[in-house]
Amino acid sequence: MSKQVQDAYIVSATRLPIGKSGRGYFKNTRPDEMLVKVMQAALAQAPGLDPAAIEDAIVGCSFPEGEQGMNIARVASVLAGLGNTIGGVTVNRYCASGITAVQMAADRIRVGEADVMFAGGVESMSMIPMGGNKPSLSPLIFEKDENIGIAYGMGLTAEKVAAQWKISREAQDAFSVESHRRAVAAMQAGHFAAEITPFDVVERTPNLADGTVNIKTRTVSLDEGARPDTSLEGLAKLKPVFAAKGSVTAGNSSQTSDGSGGLLIVSEAALKRYNLTPLARFVSFAVRGVPPEIMGIGPIEAIPAALKAAGISAKDLDWVELNEAFAAQSLAVLNDLDSKGIELDRAKVNPNGGAIALGHPLGATGAIRAASVIHGLRRTGGKYGMVTMCVGAGQGAAGIFERL
């Protein structure tokens, strides 16, 4: 913080509703189309801002290949009509790709290199599977035992966290039920309205009788993963999916999803020049590494570092988006931080539910949850909020925002 020359302000923050991968809203929607919509919506929320003032678009994506390859940040910025003068770069820090894009964009402003930036994230798990279309692990990974965790599937790392931090199956299922309960309650109360940009999904089906194509358009405006009928009894019937005698099930893991989110970040000079209203200030960011085989515990290292950089304590946080990759890792993070005196108020952690209920579109999640924090703070009057998550291959990341 002492080395920055100016503050970075968020003037718009939005996201699309999150769809279930493979069978949900966006199963046939290209990720570049989702990102284009988010870019246009973010710009529309900052009236008076000249699109040509945006210097660069930084976009996170966990598996930037296929339909979300070819530097989707640059492609989408052109397709969105932002102009040919705007740059674009796609970045990958797996599940922290979106929040890393926000940090990178904010830092360009904080060191005085830019005045207006777009930051976002996008992921279509319907079109690009976990691991990508052609995963290829280096043989060097298997030459040393301490590196083998890089090759572990995410579910197996969750099992290892559950075992090492003694997180029971019952606790994981109870955490999952609460995630769904909070998500459904937030939807019914309309708490997502400010952060979500509705999307018109176009469905095309062939009419074999006359050779024509039937086109149907529907508008989606809510995440489709939350289930009001989720119960402990129902989750208890599910079998472990990653280890025969394990405790991690489909019901206490995050959903695979499609989605996109984006923010416009500006300097104080741009605020005045374009008469913009700041929603929040970007305060701090930290990333730390942990052993790959227990990657889920990453936030226990990143959170204290982000708090220290912000000059605040855990008690100052009014809203925390702790990404629920797995109930086991979320509980392990919370319990471990408690034991170190860094207590996060459970009522302020994922108050609108988390990824178990709402979904987790990998590289988009950080940007999506940044929009959730900013609008959540504005609705409730809170001051500081944090987005944090574990990251594949053994990392944790955390970013802190201040409502203005």
Give the active site residues. 95, 360, 390
Cα separation, 388 vs 399, in Å, equals 6
Cα separation, 393 vs 95, in Å, equals 10
319 backbone φψ class: left, alpha, beta (φ>0; ψ -120 to 50) = beta
27: which residues sit within 8 A by CB, 6+ positions away?
19, 20, 21, 126, 258
